Amino acid sequence: MSKSSYKAILIRSLLVLFVTAIALTLRWRAVQMLPVDYDEDDYLRAGQEFAQLIRTKDWSGFLETNYRTEHPPLAKILYGFSLLSVPEVPLIQDKPTTATPDQTLPKDLILIARLVGAIQGSITVFLLALVNPIGGGLLALHTFTIKYVSQVMLEALPALTGLITVMAYVQSKKEKTKFGSLTISAIFLGLTAASKYLYCLVAIAILIDWFLYSKEQNDLSRFIRHAVGWGILAIAIFFTVDPYIWPNPIGRIKESVLYHAAYSSGASEVQGANFPFWQPFVWLNMTPMSWHEGAFVVAPDLLITILAAFGIKRLWRKERVYVLWLAVAIFFLLIWPTKWPQYILTLTVPLSLAAAETISLVVKKATESWNKPRLRIVTSISLNRQAVFQSVPWLAPGLVAFALFTLFPLIFQIAISLTDFNSISIMDGLNGGVWREIWGGLTGKIKPVYPEFPFRSKEVQFTGISSYLPIFTWITTDGILVFNVIWTILSVGLQTILGVGTALLLWKKGIRFRRGWQTLFILPWAIPETIGALMWMTIFASPFGWLSLAVQDYGNNIPFAFLNGWESSPNRTLLILLIAGLWYGFPFMMLAATAGLKQLPFDVFDAAALDGADAGQIFRHVTLPLLSPLILPAIILRGIFSFNQFYLLQIFGFLHGNYAMTTLATLSYNLFNPSGFANGQFAISAALNIITVLILIGFVISFNRLSKADEGVTYA
Amino acid sequence: MRKPSITQQIFTYVALLLIALFVILPIWSISRLAFDGSLKSRPVEFRFTPKEFTVTPFLNVLDRPYQSVTFTNLLRNSMTVSFGASLGAIILGLSLAYAFAHFRFPGRKVGLFLMLLTAMLPPIAFSTPLYVVLSILKIRTTLLGLLIVYAIFAMPFCIWNMRAAFQSVPKELEEAAYLDGASNFMTFINISLPLAIPSIAISALIAFLMGYSEFAIGWLFIDKSQNVTLAMSIYSILASGAAQPWSLIGSLALIMSAPVVIIFIVLQRTLLDQLLFANAGETA
């Protein structure tokens, strides 16, 4: 080996150690500072029971001991060993899982058990850092991961063994004789299953990747043999390290698995939480930092999620199985009814890896553009003096109006968001109080104050940017931001599908009354949005809407009766909103697609038909690729509109009354409204608007990169 | 392309019928209430058709829809505000749109970006400053104030849309006129403007619609019932807990939609499908 490669290895090792040290430090801090949480008492008691068995050398006791039998015992046994080092105390009381966390649990027991979890969590970071130091670094900082490996939970061990399962599998693809690493992979999969079933999701990802890989190698028969062997070994290991199921394997496994099905559909705490299906995304966009003041140093959770979204493609090309892991886990968490925050630890490892890909891409691009000699392309047509001179009379009147009416409001918004301006201080604000405070604050003459929410002062006060953090925490923790994004994506997606579908139907040859159909389908777009919302209200409002009355008069067996009572369920509320939004929005997409279809050359379709392509193939390989660039600007425009959609959400907001299920624009309006529930929180509304603007800037920039959209958005 | 088979045809018509059903459903739902003379307040039983068919609610709406304000008054307010706002947005935006489409000047890119950004702002983002400014000018609660507010909401979008229209005017035409000795202004009046008229009309229509169906911002600014618009009156009836009979609310909603729907159906033949998306392909 050459000298430079030694140096590279040395740097990499130091980096890995550094990242691991950070992970350990942050987790140790969390171990000491986090309060006792739900479930910690349960697993600590489980650990105590095992510790007792070990102390008394009652090995046969393992066959009948597993406190909280719904989870297999391996992680709890590990806690049992850790408790041997501290003096014995009486068993913690047996309480239902819903009991409020008992802060008086024996301190030294909690600390030692948590420390064992934190060490396992740090080993996970260490292993991930071997794969990718940046990914390891991100996992080290991820606050939800820190929280749940540093509490007495069952997450730390299966997260670690799950990662080893995947790493060993990846290693096996690189080797000629695969048996060694595949055996390790199977063993650790068995250990994962014996700690917490949920983490076995990695096995699905591995099998998919393995299947695809063997297909590429034309080696499917060997895949089946190896995969079956791998699976049997994993099951055997699971059986070996789970002594609790030895006396009655089928019965006890069935009992523990069925518990989860019943728990997810019937447990009062799951029902009470009433989480929407997209709740995992809410966990991924927030941080527990505001739950536990001081326990975490930084909270990059949202940043990691965003970076990961951009890094998926690169990670797929590098190592597909991690992306599959992420996808399988997200899919499962979305459909599984129980949605506790700790479940996202099943995917924070591949999430960190994907985010790391984005970071290394950005770093690479930055260094490239830094090292490249800067060429100034001097365009001859640019800035000819005469043209500039000529443009002045055209620009001047418009610019004055534009600056006065749209730029000034924007600047004023920023100013207000730095104060506590509200409807009580309105007289002072109108008399120049906002500018007085801003001037004083920015020149340092006025010290920023930190008033309580909601603002109620009689005079405007300078607050600086101090209100941004709580507001941002609020919209992420309560899931408002995630709802806004989910709403935008789903509603634009549905509108595009129905709009393009309708356009394609009307595009076929020999349709009768084409004009008539088209005029009919345009109606929803012509009707003012307020009226459209009102129309849907006469159907869905309770108790006087059409649907409620039908259920009242004809019982629950009529179609769509399941939608009745949608107000109490976030999922069904979203569905209702999507139906109304689809009705209002699809005609626009239909018009865009119709106009696009008109521009497609007909001979291409004839050629494809002559070559024997069927309708499905023509659509997939000819129509869609030709059409999508033509309707992309319409999709972007619709996306912006949906993100800011107001009237529909405001009117339906009266019906469901859940402020978390609304757009930021709607929320901002209601905070601003002096006669609304917030009594005119002008400053908070302004800060919310600025946040919206920043999000949209990000949206524009990333879309600009993707599609040159700013030149393409040409129509309504 | 080949003519579709019988089964394909049947499938197509069934699909179209289902979509039509989806489109008509809410319109039917509100109509069944609007024409029902038996409704004293909320409907209490499930019916496909009105129990007592009548047009009295419509006559009541035309007589006295909201508090003591006459329908003509509401309509006049709505028309003044949305028409004025539409006109204002077009006039204020026209020269800027032309300048951005036609001239190259320093800061053009930044200007475009800022414009797109303001076009994407939620309307409420303009409300706080306007609230303060219009209060200072003492016109916050007047129709003129509301007109200014709606014009400002519509302006970024109008500029953006008209710029695209000017951009799609063939350069050769403008250059030919210029070479023949026409000034910039004459070229604009005689060549660019006439060719862009359809898109300007669309922008004006959409600006009009924004004002016509806007209610929320209106209620932040207006406090006298004399200055209330149609959309605001509907929202106010809803927000007050809907003590009015739903036949009245329904007929008010239908009457309010009627003019816009008619404009759209008329325009659809001449403008929408021919011109609105005509230049999409070239610039996308």
pLDDT in tens, A371-382: 876 555 544 445
Residue with structure tokens 């080797």? Answer: A175
Lowest mean pLDDT among A205-219, A323-337, A482-496, B250-264: B250-264
| CB A541, CB B42: distance < 8 Å | no
Judge: A505–B130 Cβ closer than 8 Å, yes or no. no
- Quote the minimal CA–CA distance from A590 to chain B in Å: 10
**Contact (CB<8Å) B216/A693:** no
Percent residues over pLDDT 90 in chain A: 49
How near does any CA of chain B get to the CA of A387, in Å?
A: 6
Looking at the DSSP bridge assignments, the partners of residue B36 are B53
List of chain A residues whose C-beta atoms are within 8 Å of the C-beta of residue B122: 644, 646, 663-665, 668, 689, 692
Mean per-residue pLDDT, A440-460 = 83
Considering chain A, tell me which residue range(s) the CATH 1.10.3720.10 domain(s) occupy. Answer: 485-632
User: At A714, is the secondary structure helix, strand, or coil?
Assistant: coil
| Residue B38: predicted pLDDT | 83
The two tokens of residue B258 are: 């009627």
3-state secondary structure of B53: strand
Are B235 and A530 within 8 A, CB to CB? yes
Phi and psi, residue B69, nearest 5°: -90, 135
Q: Which of B1, B206, B213 sits opposite A609 (nearest CB)?
A: B1
Cα distances (Å, whole numbers) of residue A40 to A98, A101, A154, A175, A562: 12, 8, 9, 42, 38
DSSP state, B66? B
Q: What is the end-to-end Cα distance of chain A in Å, rounded? A: 63
- Give residue A715's pLDDT: 36
Question: What's the confidence (pLDDT) of residue A374?
Answer: 57
pLDDT band at A706 (very low <50, low <70, confident <90, very high): low
Contact B265 A402 (CB under 8 A): no
Give the H or E element holding residue B191: none
SS (H, E, C) A360-421: HHHHHHHHHHHHCCCCCCCCCCCCCHHHHHHHHHHHHHHHHHHHHHHHHHHHHHHHHHCECC
B67-244: which CATH number, 1.10.10.10, 1.10.3720.10, 1.10.10.60, 3.40.50.620? 1.10.3720.10
Mutate which: A378, A379, A380, A402, vs B, most B CBs within 10 A: A402
Residue with tokens 């932040």: B220
Work out the minimum CA distance from A357 to partner chain B, whole angstroms. Answer: 29
- CATH tag, A485-632: 1.10.3720.10
How far, in Å, CA of B105 to CA of A493, rounded?
Answer: 39
On whether the CB atoms of residues A109 and A83 are closer than 8 A, the answer is yes
Question: Each residue of B143-155: pLDDT tens digit?
Answer: 999 998 898 888 8
- Look at B83-92, B125-134, B150-159 and tell me which has the smallest mean pLDDT: B125-134
What pLDDT is recorded for position A709?
Answer: 39
Instruction: pLDDT band for A213, please (50, 70, 90 cuts).
Output: very high
Report yes or no: A31 and A114 within 8 Å, Cβ to Cβ: yes
pLDDT over 60 at B1, yes or no: no
Which sequence spans correspond to the domains of chain B? 67-244
- The structure tokens listed for A601 are 């050359």
From B272, which residue of chain A is nearest by alpha-carbon distance? A591
**What integer is the mean pLDDT of A129-150?**
96
Looking at residues A53-61, what average pLDDT do you find? Answer: 92
CA dihedral A48→A53→A55→A60, nearest 10 degrees, is -170
Question: Which SS3 state, helix, strand or coil, does residue B36 take?
Answer: strand
Q: Is A603 exposed, middle or buried (0-12, 13-18, 19+ CB in 10 A)?
A: exposed
Question: How far is the alpha carbon of B195 from chain A, nearest alpha carbon, in Å?
Answer: 15
Q: How confident is the model at residue A80 (pLDDT cuts 50, 70, 90)?
A: very high
B152 contacts A434? CB cut-off 8 A: no
- Tell me the C-alpha to C-alpha distance, in Å, between residue A618 and each of A497, A504, A563, A613: 17, 12, 37, 6
In the predicted structure, residue A383 carries a pLDDT above the cut 60: no
Q: Answer yes or no: is pLDDT of A594 > 90.
A: no
Residue B48 near chain A (CB below 8 Å): no
- Is A406 in contact with B152 (Cβ distance < 8 A)? yes
Mean predicted confidence (pLDDT) in A363-372: 85
Q: What is the rounded CA–CA span in Å between residue A525 and residue A527? A: 6
Among A522, A524, A714, the residue with its CB nearest the CB of B280 is A714
Q: For all residues of chain A together, what is the average pLDDT?
A: 88
Q: What is the pTM of this model?
A: 0.89
The answer to whether the CB atoms of A410 and B265 lie below 8 A apart is no
In 3D space, the residue among A708, A712, A503, A525 whose CA is nearest the CA of residue A592 turns out to be A503
CA of A415: how far to CAs of A400, A471, B154, in Å? 21, 16, 24
Residue A427, pLDDT above cutoff 70:
yes
What is the rounded distance in angstroms from the CA atom of residue B176 to the CA atom of residue A491? 47
- pLDDT classification of A274: cutoffs 50, 70, 90: confident
Distance CA B31, CA B249 (A): 10
Task: Name the residue of chain B whose CA is nearest to A665's CA.
Answer: B122
Give the lowest-confidence range in A56-60, A340-344, A375-379: A375-379
Taking a contact as any Cβ pair under 8 Å apart, which residues of chain B between 133 and 162 contact chain A? 135-136, 151-152, 155-156, 159-161
Q: How many interchain CB pairs under 8 A, A with B? A: 323
What angle do the packed helices A348-371 and A320-335 form, to 10 degrees? 130
Q: Given a cut of 70, is residue A506 above it in pLDDT? A: yes
